[in-house]
């Protein structure tokens, strides 16, 4: 195997590992922000291409995953901005198509229904509240980490998270998610 | 403490940002105000439900698609830096030769012309041997994020 081929094989492997590392987090953000698996996957795909094109500029000022989060969030924001603003009735928002978890059938159905209600409720939030709360509960980020992704002060992030929780409360209750 | 203050401080508590000195006051208000107790219960429920929400699964076919796209993107990546440097390396001496030939009396104009022709030939030569599609010029990921993702490590730990 020539030196060039070896390097190529090694870099292909590295790129696969990079995709494996970044995609789950990016996809969770995108699907929750956009409320659709299909659109979420498109957004992640575009974000990944953007990241690869700009990888040479990465200077370790932030973590690579934080940088990818930011690119994904920006891509989702662009997509949300292109949508015509309208009030969506909770019943109309599509499911993200999450895979069913393991467990008994009844439990599985209950969990799937709970997720459906939560995702529909998230779709009711404003773009910034949605972004803040999705990131906050992603891997249990802190307001500081969310602030780094959104380039906002942690106190401002806390306010958005607070408002999002306040909006979600009645929606969860309406969907009978309250214990 | 007003109910409005309680809401903000309770939110801070959920975020783990409430100073310990305020904790007692918040808990006391919660016990004494039925409306705020209900609010706190609702916020705790939202917090719990959001924490329990599992991450979105990556479909294997989507993962494969991303591998393909990422590798294609990397293999067609063109870094302009080496080509710009190559052009500068050729154009600079040619310009110098031209300037010397034009402005220095006594230096034959033919020498400058020969230098231009030589420079042009070199450009064609380098252009013909430059890689068309390879990872050459692509930023070395390993260099950027360290020795990438060895078993049991994550990029976050490495970066």
Tell me which residue has tokens 């976050």: B156
State which residue of chain A sits closest to B135, comparing Cα positions. Answer: A8
> Could you give the domains of chain A?
1-86 (1.10.1740.10), 101-179 (1.10.10.10)
What is the C-alpha radius of gyration for chain A, rounded to an integer number of angstroms?
18
Q: Is B109 helix (H, G, I), strand (E, B) or coil?
A: helix
Whether residue B54 and residue A101 make contact (CB cut-off 8 A), yes or no, is yes
Give me the residue from A4, A21, A169 closest to B46, CB to CB: A169
> How confident is the model at residue B138, as a pLDDT?
59
Nearest to A112 by CA among A91, A93, A123, A98: A98
Rounded (5°) CA angle A15-A19-A24: 170
**CA A168, A174, A178: angle at the middle one, nearest 5?**
75
ipTM above 0.95 for this complex:
no
Instruction: Return phi, psi of residue B92, to 5°.
Output: -60, -55
Tell me how far CA of residue B127 lies from CA of A140, B92, B120, B124, B131, in angstroms.
51, 17, 11, 5, 9
The string of DSSP codes covering B54-81 is PPPPPPHHHHHHHHHHHHHHHHT---HH
3-state DSSP assignment of residue A149: helix
Per-residue model confidence as pLDDT tens digits over A92-146: 544 444 444 445 556 666 777 777 788 888 888 888 888 898 889 887 678 888 8
Where do the domains of chain B lie?
3-52, 78-137
Which residues touch A4 (CB under 8 Å, ≥6 apart)? B134, B136
Dump pLDDT digits (tens) for A3-26.
Answer: 777 777 887 888 888 889 889 989
Inter-residue contact A75 to A50 (CB < 8 Å): yes
**Over the stretch B67-120, which tens digit does the pLDDT of each residue have?**
988 888 777 665 566 667 667 777 777 777 677 666 766 666 677 677 777 777
Most A CBs within 10 A among B50, B51, B59, B65, hence the mutation to make, goes to B50
Pairs across A and B, CB distance < 8 A: 156
* Closest CA relative to residue B76, chosen from B115, B141, B132, B29: B132
pLDDT(B127) > 80: no
């Amino acid at each position: 195997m020539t030196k060039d081929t070896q390097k190529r094989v090694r870099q292909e492997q590295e790129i696969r590992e990079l995709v494996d590392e970044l995609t789950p987090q990016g996809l969770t953000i995108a699907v929750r922000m956009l409320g659709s698996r299909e659109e979420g996957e498109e957004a992640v795909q575009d974000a990944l291409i953007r990241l690869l094109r700009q990888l040479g500029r990465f200077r370790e000022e932030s973590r690579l995953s934080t940088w990818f989060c930011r690119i994904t969030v920006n891509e989702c924001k662009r997509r949300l901005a292109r949508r015509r603003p309208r009030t969506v009735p909770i019943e109309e928002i599509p499911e993200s198509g999450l895979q069913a978890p393991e467990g008994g059938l009844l439990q599985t159905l209950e969990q799937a229904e709970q997720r459906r209600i939560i995702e529909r409720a998230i779709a009711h939030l404003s773009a910034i509240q949605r972004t803040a709360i999705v990131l906050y509960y992603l891997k249990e980020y802190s307001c500081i980490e969310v602030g780094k992704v959104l380039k906002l002060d942690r106190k401002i992030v806390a306010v958005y998270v607070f408002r999002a929780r306040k909006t979600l409360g009645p929606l969860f209750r309406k969907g009978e998610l309250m214990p | 403490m007003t109910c409005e203050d309680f809401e903000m401080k309770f939110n801070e508590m959920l975020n783990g940002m409430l100073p310990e000195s305020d904790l007692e006051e918040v808990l006391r208000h919660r016990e004494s105000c039925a409306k705020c107790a209900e609010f706190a219960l609702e916020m705790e429920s939202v917090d719990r439900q959001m924490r329990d929400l599992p991450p979105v699964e990556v479909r294997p076919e989507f993962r494969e698609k991303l591998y393909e796209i990422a590798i294609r993107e990397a293999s067609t990546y063109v870094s302009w830096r080496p080509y710009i440097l190559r052009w500068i390396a050729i154009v600079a001496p040619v310009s110098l030769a031209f300037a010397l030939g034009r402005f220095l009396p006594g230096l034959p104009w033919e020498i400058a012309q020969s230098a231009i022709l030589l420079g042009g030939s070199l450009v064609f030569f380098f252009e013909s041997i430059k890689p068309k599609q390879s990872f050459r010029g692509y930023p070395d990921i390993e260099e950027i994020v360290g020795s990438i993702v060895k078993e049991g490590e994550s990029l976050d730990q490495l970066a």
